[in-house]
Amino acid sequence: MGAPIPKGSLFSATRTQLTVSPPFPTISSQCRQFSLSSHRGALQQQRGMPQTISMKQPAQPSMKARGMNVSRSELPQDIGILPGTFIRPLWSGLPSIFTQPKERLHFEWLWLKSGFQNFFSLVFFSKFKGNAKPLLLKERRQIALKLHKQMYSAFADGDVKTLRKVCCTGLANDLARRISARPQGEKVTWSLEKYNRSPSTLFTGIRVMADRLTEIPELPNSSVRQVTVRITSRQSTGKVQKPKPGAKELMEQPAAKSRDCIEYIVIQKFQWMGEEDEWRIWGQTTATTVDDLSSPFFAMGLSLADRYEAMKESMGRR
């Protein structure tokens, strides 16, 4: 669904699948949905069975009831990236104004509109609805950089406790499993050499691409805020084999590999029934592509109310 990550990134991801290149492991995140409709339909036709069977589903408790009956530690963290999040791609990833003028103008319009809407929602929910909260417009970049460093450092060091503190549950569990699967005596190294202060990050090394805050349906005084940042940096990774006990000579270790990375990191923060959670890393996503323009969240001709209802419906299914 998303555009490919530039060559050399530690991560490669789509909106529904998060993977990390070696030595960083494969990670599954967001919604895990599997479609069996075509295979199931073929079997039903062979057996003379109807392809559509209506079954009455048992009543499910509302989001409010579920939120009232569980502790904060049991509340979900992996709700996925908020539907309709627009992430402007790099200049090379934008449609050409000469060959795809309609799509290019649509991209520019979405960039302006989403920025205005996101800021308006952020101010409205933070200042005028419920208890007033700071917007953290300056702090959000530093929060993202701090979590980014903590996650990579903790994974390299095998520090599962820190991973569970700074990452959402799904991401932390996957990283923990990969740590436990490392060969005995192997140590992973990681270091951040520098931030690449390019025009794509306004010469800072990090740029906020989306900042969204929305209420959680059916739960009073509950919301989720997601900030997507683009980080351009040079990182080095490697693997070191610890010498075996009694070894006379140290084995020659491969040199760490250095690479330039462009990452779209998503951090999020929940408020449950008036109580705020900590900022955590949800994972990584990709920039919006031309194919994404067919989504109801980006399609032309839909009103803001239609898009809002679509987002509420999408969140209600998770």
124 Cβ contact partners less than 8 Å away, ≥ 6 residues apart:
none
pLDDT reported for residue 133: 82
Instruction: Name which of 211, 221, 218 is nearest 313 in CA terms.
Output: 218
Residue 270 forms part of a structural domain: yes
Q: What CATH code is carried by the domain that includes residue 285?
A: 3.10.450.240
Number of domains the chain contains = 1
pLDDT reported for residue 76: 73
Q: Higher confidence at residue 125 or residue 147?
A: 147
Q: Which of 44-58, 121-135, 216-230 has the lowest mean pLDDT?
A: 44-58
pLDDT at 21 over 70: no
Domain containing 27 equals 11-31+76-243+257-316
Residue 42 forms part of a structural domain: no
Q: Which of 95-99, 105-109, 255-259, 305-309 has the lowest mean pLDDT?
A: 305-309
Q: Which of 5-9, 181-185, 303-307 has the lowest mean pLDDT?
A: 5-9
Peptide bond before 23: cis, by omega within 30 degrees of 0? yes
pLDDT reported for residue 249: 56
pLDDT at 277 over 70: yes
* Mean pLDDT, rounded, of the chain: 77
pLDDT reported for residue 265: 98
Letter string b/e over residues 280-315, b meaning 16 or more CB atoms within 10 A of that residue's CB: bbbbbbbbbbbebbeeebbeeeeeeeebeebbbebb
Amino acid found at 269: K
pLDDT in tens, 42-58: 433 443 433 333 334 44
What percent of the chain has a predicted confidence (pLDDT) above 90?
A: 51
Residue 252 forms part of a structural domain: no
Query: In the structure, what pLDDT confidence band is assigned to residue 138 with cuts at 50, 70 and 90?
Result: very high
Most confident region among 19-33, 118-132, 192-206, 284-298 by mean pLDDT: 192-206
Average pLDDT of 257-275?
93
pLDDT at 7 over 70: no
pLDDT reported for residue 110: 94
Most confident region among 34-38, 85-89, 254-258 by mean pLDDT: 85-89
Q: 119 vs 159, 173, 275, CA distance in Å? A: 36, 33, 23
Residue 71 forms part of a structural domain: no
Residue 218 forms part of a structural domain: yes
pLDDT in tens, 203-220: 999 999 999 999 888 788
Instruction: Name which of 9, 24, 6, 66 is nearest 188 in CA terms.
Output: 24
Average pLDDT of 64-87?
73
pLDDT reported for residue 131: 67
Give the integer Cα–Cα distance in Å for 228 and 244.
43
The region, left, alpha or beta by phi > 0 then psi within -120 to 50, assigned to residue 77 is alpha
pLDDT reported for residue 251: 59
Residue 242 — φ and ψ, nearest 5°? -70, 140
What does DSSP say about strands 280-284 and 257-272: parallel, antiparallel, or unpaired?
Answer: antiparallel
Residue 315 — φ and ψ, nearest 5°? -70, -35
pLDDT in tens, 82-108: 989 999 999 999 999 999 999 999 999
pLDDT reported for residue 11: 36
pLDDT at 2 over 60: no
